[in-house]
Amino acid sequence: MPQIFVENLEKRFRVAERKAGLWGAVRGLVHRRYREVEALHEVSFSIEQGELVGYIGPNGAGKSTTIKILSGILVPSGGRCEVNGLIPWENRIKHVAHIGVVFGQRTQLWWDLPVIESFELLRDIYRVSPADFTRTSDELIELLELSPLLDVPVRQLSLGQRMRCDLAASLIHQPDILFLDEPTIGLDAVAKLAMRSFVQRQNKERGTTVLLTTHDMDDIEALCTRLLLINHGTLLMDGTVKDLRSDERRVLVDFEGVPQLSAEHASFARERNGSRVIFRVRGRVPEFIADITAHYSVHDLMVEHPPIEETVAELYRKSVR
Amino acid sequence: MNAISKSLWHAYLAVAVTRFKMVLQYRAAAFAGFGTQLFWGFIKVMVFVAFFEATNEVQPMTFSEVLVYIWLGQGLLALLPWNVDAEIANDIRTGGVVYELLRPLDLYSFWFARTLAFRAAPTLLRLTPMLIFAYWVLPLIGFSEWALPLPDSFASGLLFVFSVVATLALSTAFTMVMHVALIWTISGEGFNRMMPGIVPVFAGLIVPLPLFPDWLQPFLYWQPFRGMADVPFRIYSGHIPVDEAFFEIAMQWFWFAVIVVLGYRLLIRARTRLVVQGG
């Protein structure tokens, strides 16, 4: 049995709606109309212990809903789900003792308390023994460089500082599984890198299973061995970052002067900007480059993957209902 | 108590203590509250001075019993369930309640611990100066006739303490019903405007309950708010004699149990419809 097992998961919300304007508001008082929103539709996947899985999809795709079901907060409308052999929403209290969750958009720390007091309160809530707490918190404080922040009330922290503290807070009880919902949202480059290397280390050295949602493809490329892609509540892809890449390459060529491309070569050109031309080539890239350099005088040349964002955006667009 | 339930108890205690410390930070509000309550205390005393001077009949309460009622009422005002915890209201409104559900604790008990601290901390901040003022300072500045008398007897004083503990539990349980209802109403404004008009009247803080007309007495007797002010105050003054006090305290706990069950069942219903925002 995999550590996280999800089969045909369904979640429908009932959303109250009213027509715009004053008349709509008045009618809403008397007669409420509800609309069913399908947040998840037949979502199935399983995750083994120690995996680091990226969960991506556009806003409103159902990522957070999945995480909330997996962590026992929401009850699904249908389907099966087991985490560590427990049904999350039926055994919520037992289940949550073994998971750590960070919602990037809101903090789990107590706003008016110094950071260390939040940690201590979590120690008591999760009933962590003093010895374990000292060991874990010392390690987290060192790795995430929290010592200058410990006595600062949470409301005075910057977003990057707060996120580091939040990450530490989610690990005080040494969970086997870590759910990260947009942990890098709004962070600057340095903070993002720190976050990534920490998550990676936690996964490698402790074997913590990590499921992380993000909009940042660099997060995915840097961290994840596996990728789940969801849109409109339906799982579109379950594979590796490699699978997402086609054999298409971008060939960036700086010519000596503005080139007169032959019709055949011009058909590969996607963007032209003076002496620079960007070609899109599928397979046979070495032959193409040899051909170009044989026919034109080339100043510089670069081959790269198409940006993963474009590939993903393409998949999102294709999945329009 | 085995080790697990002991540490579980410790977890709830830690939640309460933390919240308690946080509320204690609002010292300015407590001092302002103390000033206001002192002012109203004087006005109430003057009203009753006039009342007792204007009547020749024997009233259901003596002036000294009314004094106890007024000063304890001013000191314990913050204990009444007349408002909701802005922090919990905010957690519900913004969806921060998700983190509460991520803790290995029973949600009702978790909130109860927080609510207990929310009720107890401001009360403690106000009660202490009010008791000192009403008992020590008033005689010093020439108002000895208006000062707070001592408890009727040592037993009355002791039972008063037990009764106030029950009041705290009862009031917390009632506040919990409001907190759970917030899951439906989202905004706490309704409660914060409505409850100050209702609770103090039925608790006896506007007019002591024994002074209401006789035909209202059965109704006033069978309602939970009485246990939030009237009962402990009258135990203190001996208006409720010691032998009846045990029964009255038991009644407070009876109402506590009823309201806890109500709040708990309401929370179970709320839980099934809880759609955390930002899903």
C-alpha count within 13 angstroms, C-beta hemisphere, residue B68: 23
Cross-chain CB nearest to B18 (options A13, A99, A113):
A113
For residue B279, being part of any structural domain is answered with no
Cross-chain CB nearest to A117 (options B18, B94, B96):
B18
Cross-chain CB nearest to A13 (options B25, B99, B275):
B275
Asked if the C-beta of B3 comes within 8 angstroms of chain A's C-beta atoms, the answer is no
User: Using a CB-CB distance cutoff of 8 angstroms, which residues of chain B are in contact with residue A120?
Assistant: 14
Task: Supply the mean pLDDT for chain A.
Answer: 87
Cross-chain CB nearest to A125 (options B15, B25, B278):
B15
Q: Does A113 sit within 8 Å of B272, measured CB to CB?
A: no
Question: What does the pLDDT read at residue A26?
Answer: 74
3-state secondary structure A239-290: ECHHHHCCCEEEEEEEECCCCCCCHHHHCCEEEEECCEEEEEEECCHHHHHH
Closest chain B residue to A95, measured at CA: B104
SS3 B26: coil
The predicted-structure confidence for A76-129, as pLDDT tens digits, reads as follows 888 999 999 999 988 889 999 999 999 888 888 988 889 999 999 999 999 999
User: Using a CB-CB distance cutoff of 8 angstroms, which residues of chain B are in contact with residue A71?
Assistant: 102
Domain ranges of chain A: 4-108+170-243, 246-304
Q: Does A126 sit within 8 Å of B104, measured CB to CB?
A: yes
Question: What does the pLDDT read at residue A28?
Answer: 67
The predicted-structure confidence for A15-25, as pLDDT tens digits, reads as follows 777 667 777 77
Question: What does the pLDDT read at residue B1?
Answer: 45
Q: Evaluate if residue A220 carries a pLDDT over 60.
A: yes
Question: What does the pLDDT read at residue A96?
Answer: 93
Question: What does the pLDDT read at residue B29?
Answer: 77
How far B118 CA lies from chain A's nearest CA (Å)? 15
Q: Evaluate if residue A167 carries a pLDDT over 80.
A: yes
Which pLDDT band, with edges at 50, 70 and 90, does A232 fall under? confident
Q: Evaluate if residue A307 carries a pLDDT over 80.
A: no
3-state secondary structure chain A: CCCEEEEEEEEEEEEEECCCHHHHHHHHHHCCEEEEEEEEEEEEEEECCCCEEEEECCCCCCHHHHHHHHCCCCCCCEEEEEECCECCCCCHHHHHCCEEEEECCCCCCCCCCEHHHHHHHHHHHCCCCHHHHHHHHHHHHHHCCCHHHCCCEHHHCCHHHHHHHHHHHCCCCCCCEEEEECCCCCCCHHHHHHHHHHHHHHHHHHCCEEEEECCCHHHHHHHCCEEEEEECCEEEEEECHHHHCCCEEEEEEEECCCCCCCHHHHCCEEEEECCEEEEEEECCHHHHHHHHHHHCCEEEEEEECCCHHHHHHHHHHHCCC
CB burial of residue B147 (10 Å; 0-12, 13-18, 19+): buried
Q: Evaluate if residue A176 carries a pLDDT over 90.
A: yes
Q: Does B96 sit within 8 Å of A94, measured CB to CB?
A: no
User: Using a CB-CB distance cutoff of 8 angstroms, which residues of chain A are in contact with residue B276?
Assistant: 68, 73-74
Q: Does B279 sit within 8 Å of A39, measured CB to CB?
A: yes
How far B11 CA lies from chain A's nearest CA (Å)? 5
Mean pLDDT over residues A44-71, rounded? 90
Closest chain A residue to B110, measured at CA: A125
Q: Does A93 sit within 8 Å of B101, measured CB to CB?
A: no
Beta pairing partners, A42:
none
Q: Tell me how many domains chain B contains.
A: 1
Size of interface A-B (CB pairs under 8 A): 74
Question: What does the pLDDT read at residue B279?
Answer: 36
For residue B31, being part of any structural domain is answered with yes
Mean pLDDT over residues A173-200, rounded? 89
Name the strands in the sheet holding A4-17, side by side, starting at the edge strand that comes first in the sequence: A33-47, A4-17, A78-83
Which stretches of chain A sit within 8 Å of chain B by CB?
A: 13, 39, 64-65, 68, 71-75, 92-94, 96-97, 99, 101, 103, 105-106, 108, 110, 112-113, 117, 120-121, 124-127
> Could you tell me the fold of the domain covering A4-108+170-243?
Rossmann fold (3.40.50)
How far A115 CA lies from chain B's nearest CA (Å)? 13
Q: Does A103 sit within 8 Å of B18, measured CB to CB?
A: no
Asked if the C-beta of B247 comes within 8 angstroms of chain A's C-beta atoms, the answer is no
User: Using a CB-CB distance cutoff of 8 angstroms, which residues of chain A are in contact with residue B18?
Assistant: 110, 113, 117, 121
The predicted-structure confidence for A239-283, as pLDDT tens digits, reads as follows 888 777 777 888 999 998 888 888 888 888 888 888 899 998 888
Question: What does the pLDDT read at residue A84?
Answer: 92
User: Using a CB-CB distance cutoff of 8 angstroms, which residues of chain B are in contact with residue A103?
Assistant: 98-99
C-alpha count within 13 angstroms, C-beta hemisphere, residue A126: 24
Beta pairing partners, B90:
none
Rounded distance, CA B183 to CA B186, Å?
Answer: 5
| Residue indicated by tokens 């997996």 | A70
Tell which B residues from 17 to 56 touch A, by Cβ distance under 8 Å. Answer: 18, 22, 25
In tens digits, chain B (279 residues) has pLDDT values of: 455 566 778 888 888 888 888 887 777 777 888 888 889 998 999 998 888 888 888 888 888 888 889 999 998 988 999 888 888 888 888 878 888 889 999 989 999 999 999 999 888 888 888 999 888 888 888 888 888 889 889 999 999 999 999 999 999 999 999 999 888 877 778 888 888 888 888 988 888 988 898 899 999 889 999 999 999 999 999 899 989 999 999 999 999 999 999 999 999 888 776 654 433
For residue B36, being part of any structural domain is answered with yes
Domain extent for B104: 3-273
User: Using a CB-CB distance cutoff of 8 angstroms, which residues of chain A are in contact with residue B94?
Assistant: 106
Cross-chain CB nearest to A124 (options B11, B95, B106):
B11
Q: Which of A106, A123, A170, A230 to mutate to test the interface with B (most CBs of B within 10 A)?
A: A106
Closest to A140 in 3D by CA, of A211, A44, A208, A84: A208
